[in-house]
Amino acid sequence: MSAAGLLVQLLNGLADASSLFLLSAGLSLIFGVSRIVNFAHGSLYMLGAYVAYSILERIGGTPLGFWGSVLLAALAVGAIGAMIEIVVLRRIYRTPELFQLLATFAVSLIVKDAVLAIWGIEDLLGPRAPGLAGAISILGRRLPQYDAMLILIGVVVLAGLHLLLTRTRWGVLLRAATQDRDMVGALGVNQALLMTSVFCLGAFLAGLGGALQLPREPANAGIDITAIGDAFVVVVVGGLGSIPGAFLAAVLIAEIKALCIALGTIALPFGLTIAFPKFTLVAEFVVMAVVLVLRPWGLLGKPQAAAVSAGPPETPLAPAGRAQKWLASAVFVALLLLPLLAGGNSYAIVLAIDIFVGVLFATSLHFIMGPGGMHSFGHAAYFGLGAYASALLLKAAGLPMPVALLLSPLGGGLGALLFGWFCVRLSGVYLAMLTLAFGQIVWSIVLQWDDLTGGSNGIIGVWPSAWLASKTTYFYLALVVCAACVLAIRRILFSPFGFALRATRDSSLRSEAIGIDVRRIQWIAFIVAGAFCGLAGGLFAFSKGSISPETISVSRSIDGLVMVLLGGVQSLAGPVIGAASFLVLQDQVARDFEYWRAALGVLILILVLAFPGGLVGALRFRLRRA
C-alpha cells in the first residue's frame, strides 16, 4: 500500500473517530455526574438519525437547511433526553447501579418500538450534505469533503466541551458534582436542574452524532445496539467520565480499524493468510480488553470509589424449610405429570423446555451476580459456547448426542476460564463492560468463522438421538438436568466455596485479611457459572435442532439479567421464578402484541421503580407484613 493511500485511510479513520467521539462524549459526561451508565444512549443516537431524516426531507435541500436540520434534530433529542431524566432517572439515583442500567435498558426498548412504529422497518438513507458532496484530492487520492467536515466538527465539539467545563459557572458546578454530588447540593445548588441539564446536553451530543452520521450510513432500527456497544467501549477505554479520554479512545479505536482495512489480507509463510479487514469487527473489543487489563480505569480515567450500594444488606442464607421443600417437590411432581395432562407434543411442552433452559441459564448467571456480586453483561457467551461446542461435537467430531451434550459444560467452562481471568481483575461497571466485550468477541468470531460455525447461517440438523427425539422424552431430560443443576448450584452456595464467594462480595478487604484469595475464588466462580451455562446452551441446541449466532447475542445476555432481577437478585429462588415468569410473559405478550418490546420495557420500569427486590422480594415483604 502506498503512503498516500495509507494517509487517506488514516484520515478516514479520523472522520470515524469524530462520529465515535460525538456518540460517546455524552455518555461519559452523564456517567461522570450521575454515575448512571445510560444504556439508552444508543437509542438517543438512533433517534438523532431518524429525526434528522424527517426534517431533512422537508428543508434539507440547501446548505442552511441541511445544517439547520441537523441542529434541530440534535435539539429535539436533547429535549427527549431531559424528559427521560425527569420521568425515569430522577427516581432511581439512589438505587443499586444494576437497576439503573436496567431502567435505561427499558427506555431503549420503548424507544426502539417507537422508532419502528413511526418510521417503519426499512433502512432510510439521508441526502448528502449540499455543497459537501465532492471529494478533496490528497496526493492523488480522494477524501470525501463531508469526512473532512466531520473531523473538523469533532475537534470543535471537543474544544467547546472543554471550554464549557473549565470556563463557565455551569461547568464548574458540573465538575464539582462529579466529585461529590451531595456536597454541591449542600452548597445550595439545584441538583435536579443540574442533572436534567447534563442529560439534556448528553442527549444533544448523541442526537448530533446520529444526525451527522445519516449521510454516511442509513438509519435503521438496529443501530441503537451497535451504537451503544461502540459508545461503551470508547467510554470505558477512555476512562468513565473523561471527555478527553473519550476523544483519545475514539481516535485510537478508529485508527486501529482504519489500519486493519489498509493492511488488507496479508500472506504469511506456509501458505497462511491473515485477513486484517475481518479483524475490524472485534478490534475495538480487543483494544478494550487490553486497556482494561493494563489500566483498569481506562486511559485517562481515575480510580472509582467503590459504589455505594443503597440496598439493605442481604440476610444470611437459610436452608430450605419444610414448607419450601414440600412446595419444590410438588412443583417437580406437577411437571412430571405435565406431558400426561397437556399431551405429549403440545405447545406447553415446547414452552416448558424453553423454560427449563432459561431457568438453568438464569441460575448460572445469578450465581456470579448475586452471591458473587459480579454483574455479567455477556453471559450469553458461555451459553453460546456450550451450544456450539455440543453442536460441533455432534456434527464435526461425530460424537453421539448424549456425549456431545455431556461435554457442553466444557465449552462454557473453558470460555469462562479464559475470560474470567481478565474479568476478576476489575469490578463494578468496568467488569460489566468487559463481560459485554467478551460476549461481543465470541459473537463476532462465531459469525465470521464460516468454515467451522457456518457463519450467519449457523449449524442445522442438531437433533437428539432417536431415543430422545420425541418432545416428551426430551422434556423429561431437560427437566431432570435442569432440576439437578439448580440443586447442585444451591448446594455449592451452602458449601465453603459458596460462603467464600459471598465473603468476597461482602468485603474483599476482610476476605484477603483472613486468607481468602479473592481473585481466585471469583475466577473459579466464573468457571462454575460458565460450565452450568454451557450445559444450558447444549440443552438449547438439541431442543431447537439448529443454532445461529443469535444464540450469543447481547439481547440474550440482557434477557438473563432481566430474569434474575425480575425474580430478585437476593434470593436463591429468584432466578428460577424470574426465568419462568419472564419466558411465560414474553411468550404470551409476543404472540398477541406487536409492540412487545415496549411492553417489556414498561414492565421493567414498573419492576425497577416499584419492586426493586424482584418478585420474590415483594412476596417475602407481603408475607412478613401479613
Interface residues with other proteins (CB under 8 A)?
312-317, 319, 491-492, 494-500, 502-503, 505-507, 509-518, 521, 524, 528
Q: In angstroms, what is the minimal distance from the CB of 567 to other proteins?
A: 18
Q: Phi/psi of residue 466, each to 5°?
A: -55, -45
Q: Which helix (H) or strand (E) holds 273?
A: strand 273-275
Residue 383 CB neighbour total at 10 angstroms: 36
- The least CB distance from residue 364 to other proteins, in Å, is 14
Residue 610 neighbours by CB distance under 10 Å = 8
Q: Minimum Å distance from CB 307 to other proteins?
A: 15
Residue 142 phi, psi dihedral angles, 5° rounding: -110, 130
Q: How far is the CB of 533 from other proteins (least distance, A)?
A: 17
C-alpha cell, 91: 427516581
Q: For the CA atoms of 95, 97, 99, 103, what is the dihedral angle to 10 degrees?
A: 110
Q: Integer distance in angstroms from the first to the last C-alpha of the chain?
A: 76
**CA triplet 51, 216, 209: central angle to 5 degrees?**
50
Query: Considering beta carbons, is residue 167 or 295 the nearer one to other proteins?
Result: 295
At position 211, the amino acid (one-letter code) is: A
**Minimum CB–partner distance for residue 617 and other proteins (Å):** 15
Please give the Cα distance from 254 to 265 (Å, whole number): 19
**C-alpha Rg value of the chain to the nearest Å:** 25
Nearer residue to other proteins within complex by CB, 178 or 511: 511
Neighbours of 290 (CB within 10 A): 12
Cβ proximity to other proteins: between 223 and 500 the closer is 500
Strand boundaries in 380-448, DSSP class E = none
Residue 297 Cβ, how far from other proteins at the closest point, in Å?
A: 15
Measured from the CB atom, the residue of 62 and 507 that comes closer to other proteins is: 507
Specify the residue, 513 or 623, whose C-beta has the smaller distance to other proteins.
513
- Least Cα distance to 77 among 187, 168, 204 occurs for 204
Considering the complex, state which of residue 185 and residue 311 has its C-beta at the smaller distance from other proteins: 311
Rounded least distance, CB 534 to other proteins, Å: 17
Q: Closer to other proteins at the Cβ: 142 or 491?
A: 491
User: 46 or 424, CB closer to other proteins?
Assistant: 424
Of the pair 338, 524, the CB lying nearest other proteins is at 524
Q: How far is the CB of 569 from other proteins (least distance, A)?
A: 12
**The amino acid at 164:** L
Name the E strands within 379-433.
none
Q: Is 79 buried (19+), middle (13-18) or exposed (0-12) by CB count in 10 A?
A: middle
What amino acid is encoded at 114 in this protein?
A: A
Do 206 and 38 meet the contact criterion of CB atoms below 8 Å apart? no
Taking the complex as a whole, how short is the minimal distance between the CB of residue 611 and other proteins, in angstroms? 21
* Cα separation, 504 vs 489, whole angstroms: 18
Rounded to the nearest whole angstrom, what is the least distance from the CB of residue 487 to other proteins in the complex? 12
Instruction: Compute the 3-state secondary structure of the chain and give helix, strand, coil in percent, each to the nearest 5.
Output: 75, 5, 20
C-beta closer to other proteins: residue 495 or 555? 495
Contacts of 327 (CB under 8 A, 6+ apart): none
